[in-house]
Amino acid sequence: MVYLTFEPQPELAALVKCYWTLEVPAREDVERQLIVPDGCIEMAFILGDDIMRYTSDDEFVLQPRAMILGQITRQFYIKPTGAVDSFAVRFYPYGFASFAQVDINTHSNTETPLAAIFGEEVSRMLAQRVVQANNTQARIDIVESFLLHRLSEKETIDKIVHEAVEAMLGTKGSSAIEDILNEAVSGRRRLERAFRQKIGLSPKQLSKVIRLQAAMKMVLNRQSQSLTEIAYESDYYDQAHFIRDFKEFTGTTPRKFLGAESMSLSALIYK
């Protein structure tokens, strides 16, 4: 399993977190892989064999080969049908709204074909160029050209949302929503509405995801042997609160997460 990330050019660095690739050889005994919330929206292209997303224990759908993966508020499982070869753009929570005139909230917890966002012809040409490119750098160049063109056609990101998200990221999700409201906006309703339209999550949901991500990295990097220490360093009330949130997003406990084969992809990405 080879997972690599690449930085965007400076003009897009405030909106695009990274580009990433994933390659996994075909295996007969492949395990389902858990995908957990990370607060980001992704534009992904499947270059290898199809990938299944399970909608129940024994039912699944095939993911679109060129898609937008909206905000995730609950964990789900995927499984490749053969060899994995994927290329994707990971946007900051507020980033994708700068490129698409859609209500992001309506695309949460699902994969949306690229054509439903950008139109059939534009999406077909973009996907075709990405698939036919000779290497990752060529794919990055193609996507960045597309994004810069889209950016020039839209207004800049809503300053209120941007500042609020930066406050959350800067404190690893531990900023109180009331503090963010006081600093970034004059009313809760306005912030809630702007978040759901541009990010697909409420301020509280995003803050919760960011804080869990910071704690999850501590678990994966074994920065502390004590779950209690991790809980307090991440501003959870106590260990029980941390474990409850962790289980809500991953479906398992921190200790079981570390050793499960089905968690290997998530562990690789979030470490």
CATH number of the structural domain spanning residue 252: 1.10.10.60
Does residue 17 share a domain with residue 86?
yes
- Mean pLDDT in residue range 58-82: 91
Q: Are residues 167 and 138 in the same domain?
A: no
User: Are residues 174 and 247 part of one domain?
Assistant: yes
- In this structure, the answer to whether residues 133 and 210 fall within a common structural domain is no
What's the pLDDT at 137?
Answer: 97
* Residue 5 clears pLDDT 90, i.e. is over it: yes
pLDDT of amino acid 229:
81
Higher pLDDT, 247 or 62: 62
- Residue % of the chain over a pLDDT of 70: 81
Structure tokens at 168: 């959350």
Mean per-residue pLDDT for 70-84?
A: 89
Band (4; pLDDT cuts 50, 70, 90): very high
Same domain, 49 and 166: no
CATH number at residue 139: 2.60.120.10
Same domain, 48 and 112: yes
Residue after which a domain boundary falls, among 123, 152, 181: 152
Whether residue 235 has pLDDT greater than 80: no
pLDDT in tens, 17-36: 999 999 999 988 888 888 88
Query: Are both 34 and 87 inside the same structural domain?
Result: yes
Instruction: Judge if 120 and 248 occupy the same domain.
Output: no
Do 178 and 198 sit in the same domain of this protein? yes
Q: Are residues 203 and 147 in the same domain?
A: no
The predicted structure's pLDDT at residue 156: 44
Q: Looking at the 3D structure of the chain, how many domains does it have?
A: 2
- 136 pLDDT band, cuts 50/70/90, is very high
Cα angle, residue 188 at apex, residues 187 and 194 outer, rounded to 5°: 100
pLDDT value at residue 112: 93
Query: For residues 208 and 184, which has the higher predicted lDDT (pLDDT)?
Result: 208
User: Is pLDDT above 70 for 251?
Assistant: yes
Do residues 113 and 123 make contact, with C-beta atoms less than 8 angstroms apart? yes
Q: How confident is the model at residue 205 (pLDDT cuts 50, 70, 90)?
A: confident
The residue segments making up the domain with residue 82 are: 2-152
pLDDT (average), residues 100-114: 84
Q: Are residues 124 and 167 in the same domain?
A: no
Give the model's confidence band at 72: pLDDT under 50 very low, under 70 low, under 90 confident, else very high. Answer: confident
Q: Are residues 201 and 140 in the same domain?
A: no
Residue 207 φ/ψ region, left for φ over 0, alpha for ψ in the -120 to 50 degree band, beta for the rest: alpha
Final residue before a domain boundary, out of 137, 152, 167: 152
On the 0-12 / 13-18 / 19+ scale of CB atoms within 10 A, 166 is: middle
For residue 124, pLDDT beyond 60: yes
Boundary residue ending a domain (106, 127, 152): 152
